[in-house]
């Protein structure tokens, strides 16, 4: 089964972890936006806007470099740019349901934030 480029990017994001939380950045809901642009010879440039669990997190540069390095190591990405934002601020409701359960957030989410992208 061949994965779309979108799915391949998400698979890479699922291999990137917050060093302080044993859950990948995608499942944590830290990825706010992904833009994929065709450039040349089937290669893509990828721009990601992500957040951190807290504005004071010292691991932001490390996590963004991890994403950049892993994306650029794929056969389809020429350049990856990762930008960090705090708008909107991250909340635990942004996590995928399985991530919420793993971290012990058992209270049901009434107004879950949409963490999908197009």
Which pLDDT tens digit goes with each residue over 70-95? 999 999 999 999 999 999 999 999 99
Domain that holds residue 82: 5-102
Residue 118 covered by a domain: no
Residue 98 covered by a domain: yes
Closest to 12 (Cα-Cα) out of 52, 38, 39, 44: 44
For the chain, give percent helix, strand, coil, nearest 5: 30, 20, 50
Residue 113 covered by a domain: no
Residue 111 covered by a domain: no
Residue 24 covered by a domain: yes
- Residue 14: both structure tokens together: 């699922």
Domain count, the chain: 1
Alpha-carbon gap, residue 45 to 86, rounded angstroms: 23
What is the CATH number for 56? 3.30.300.130
Q: What tens digit of pLDDT does each residue of 22-72 get?
A: 899 999 999 999 999 999 888 999 999 999 999 888 899 999 999 999 999
Residue 117 covered by a domain: no
Distances (CA, A) of 16 to 89, 92, 97, 114: 20, 18, 18, 20
């Amino acid at each position: 089964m061949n994965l779309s480029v979108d799915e391949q990017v998400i698979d890479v994001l699922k291999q990137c972890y917050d060093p302080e939380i044993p859950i990948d950045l995608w499942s944590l809901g830290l990825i706010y936006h992904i833009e994929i642009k065709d450039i040349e010879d089937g290669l893509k440039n990828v721009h990601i806007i992500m957040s951190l669990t807290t504005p004071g997190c010292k691991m932001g540069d490390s996590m963004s470099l991890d994403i950049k390095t892993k994306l650029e190591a794929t056969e389809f990405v020429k350049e990856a740019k990762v930008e960090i934002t705090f708008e909107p601020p991250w909340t635990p409701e942004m996590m995928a349901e399985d991530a919420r359960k793993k971290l012990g957030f058992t209270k049901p989410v009434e107004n879950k934030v949409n963490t999908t992208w197009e």
